[in-house]
Amino acid sequence: MRTMKLVGLVCLTAPLLAGVGRTAAALGEASENWPQWRGPLCTGESTTGNPPLEWSEDKNVRWKAKLPGLGKGTPIVWEDRVFVLSARGVGEALETPEPQAPEEDQSGRRGRRGRRGGGFFGGRGNQPTQVHEFVVLAFDRRDGSLLWEEVAAEALPKEGTHQDGSWASPSALTDGESLFAFFGSQGLFAYDLDGTVLWERQFGQMEISNSFGEGSSPALFGDTLVVQWDHEGDSFIVALDKRTGEDLWRRDRDERTSWATPLIVEVDGKPQVITSATSKIRAYDLASGELVWECGGLTRNVIPSPVAAGGTLYVTSGFRGNALLAIKLAGASGDITDSEQVLWTFDKDTPYVPSPLLYQDTLYFLKTNSGVLSTFDVTTGERILGPQRLETVSNVYASPVAAAGRVYVLDREGDCEVLEHGPEYKVLAQNHLDDHFDASAAISGSEIFLRGNQYLYCLAEEPPRKEKF
């Protein structure tokens, strides 16, 4: 059910500066691209894009490029280049490891070891049987040709992955000068945009619940990179100098596995790192790493990434329960659980895997991994639409995206429903491609980029529009 506290939805005047760019002035350039997970504002919105309404294998496919291996991260776009991460098996497969019985720690929880334990966990994830190359790929945006390919690491994956996952699930990100590729337990790698390695870092081996694999992507603000390392061992968050990869600060976290990507917002002129996880939602001062505030209220196994605008943060989760919290950022300090900083909450129909879309004044989200849509007015906390079952979209891992007054919802079977942004359910187009899609879309200019299991698609109206790169 929904609860509302009449404490005044006061908006911050400080802008949301989520992720890319060196300063607020750089956001204009970033907005023309899709430089990171969830786009230039980390909300799923392209403020300048105008992608096609309709497509199929025979219509509005400007190009499609065969992808090596498998990855689940979103493609990212900067000017004339598109970057993706992948993991591909090489050499002969090893003997399949014998399944391990779930272990039980002193708390009685099965499928994981104690917080200081090591090794694989019993669970349902697939265990690695083949050495993999962890690959960074750069494609020419104009024709899909491969510009360069770099193998960041070659090794047997250090842990399992979900049966629907891959060993390259995080998304890359760029500030227009450097490219940052995160492969979890295989490391974080920095390149220039021509593929030259600048530096690399190793953080150890993650121990993911049920061997379901890694998924959190790094966040970037100015010269600071942030990695959220939540797992069944010793969890932490670390801030790095993007130029050298050296630690700026590191803080321990009392958290189990989470897959959400951190969000960086500016509050009263000071950037904060927002992390979403099972135990607490937390905000850290970006400069010092000091904890600013924390809040309980989410379910276990947090996957959706938080979004923010207008001074309010929206966090969701949907495993074995439902949770949506709207948190006023100005004035938040200490433990704000059940305080007036929590403007409103909702406990039905929230997402398990897909992250919410924050578009203009509306929050869009799906129920668990299904094609059941809800929308909320973020200024009032009132439900606008839903639960609305979509006509053609059903099983969804990809997060919705939006541009030009349209919302794009892509499912795993290649069906994409394009909706008109507004208070009513209005279908503008129903599209299909012959691939399997778990990665979220990227929008830049007149194009939308979809990363399937087999191909990277560039979709645009034909004939090609004149783009300036």
The residue with tokens 């992250």 is 355
Residues 6+ apart with CB under 8 A from 8: none
Domain range summary for the chain, segments of one domain joined by +: 2-93+110-459
The model's pTM is 0.89
Per-residue buried b or exposed e for 415-454, using 16+ beta carbons within 10 Å of the residue's own CB: bbbbbebeeeeeeeeebebebebbbbbbbbbbbbbbbbbe
For residue 465 the two structure tokens come to: 């529009």
Alpha-carbon gap, residue 274 to 264, rounded angstroms: 6
Phi first, then psi, for residue 184 (nearest 5°) are: 60, -120
Alpha-carbon gap, residue 377 to 384, rounded angstroms: 6
What pLDDT is attached to residue 26?
42
Mean pLDDT for the stretch of residues 437-457: 97
Q: Which of 156-170, 175-189, 193-207, 327-341 has the lowest mean pLDDT?
A: 156-170
Alpha-carbon gap, residue 57 to 45, rounded angstroms: 25
pLDDT band at 112 (very low <50, low <70, confident <90, very high): very low
Mean pLDDT for the stretch of residues 369-395: 96
Radius of gyration of the chain measured on its C-alpha atoms = 21
Phi-psi region of 349 (alpha: psi -120 to 50; beta: other; left: phi over 0): left
Alpha-carbon gap, residue 457 to 469, rounded angstroms: 19
Tell me which DSSP letter residue 11 carries: P
Contact (Cβ atoms closer than 8 angstroms) between residue 374 and residue 349: yes
Contact (Cβ atoms closer than 8 angstroms) between residue 158 and residue 185: yes
The helix or strand, by DSSP H or E, that contains position 194, with its residue range, turns out to be: none
Alpha helices, H only, 145-269? none
Q: Looking at the structure, give the CATH architecture of the domain made up of residues 2-93+110-459.
A: 7 Propeller (2.130)
Look at residue 31 and give its three-state secondary structure: helix
Alpha-carbon gap, residue 212 to 199, rounded angstroms: 28
Listed residue (364, 450, 349) closest to 400, CA to CA: 364
Alpha-carbon gap, residue 342 to 106, rounded angstroms: 34
Asked whether the predicted pLDDT for residue 412 surpasses 60, the reply is: yes
Tell me which DSSP letter residue 217 carries: P
- For 77-103, write each residue's pLDDT tens digit: 999 999 999 999 998 887 655 444 333
The helix or strand, by DSSP H or E, that contains position 85, with its residue range, turns out to be: strand 81-89
Other beta carbons within 10 Å of 338: 12
Alpha-carbon gap, residue 228 to 216, rounded angstroms: 7
- For 9-63, write each residue's pLDDT tens digit: 333 223 344 433 333 334 566 789 999 999 999 999 999 999 999 999 999 999 9
Alpha helices, H only, 342-453? none
Asked whether the predicted pLDDT for residue 121 surpasses 90, the reply is: no
Alpha-carbon gap, residue 47 to 26, rounded angstroms: 14
Phi first, then psi, for residue 402 (nearest 5°) are: -150, 150
Alpha-carbon gap, residue 52 to 69, rounded angstroms: 28
Other beta carbons within 10 Å of 334: 12
For residue 55 the two structure tokens come to: 């497509």
* Top-confidence residue, 212 or 271: 271
Mean pLDDT for the stretch of residues 207-214: 87
Asked whether the predicted pLDDT for residue 74 surpasses 90, the reply is: yes
Listed residue (215, 214, 242, 213) closest to 226, CA to CA: 242
In single-letter form, the type of residue at position 83 comes to F
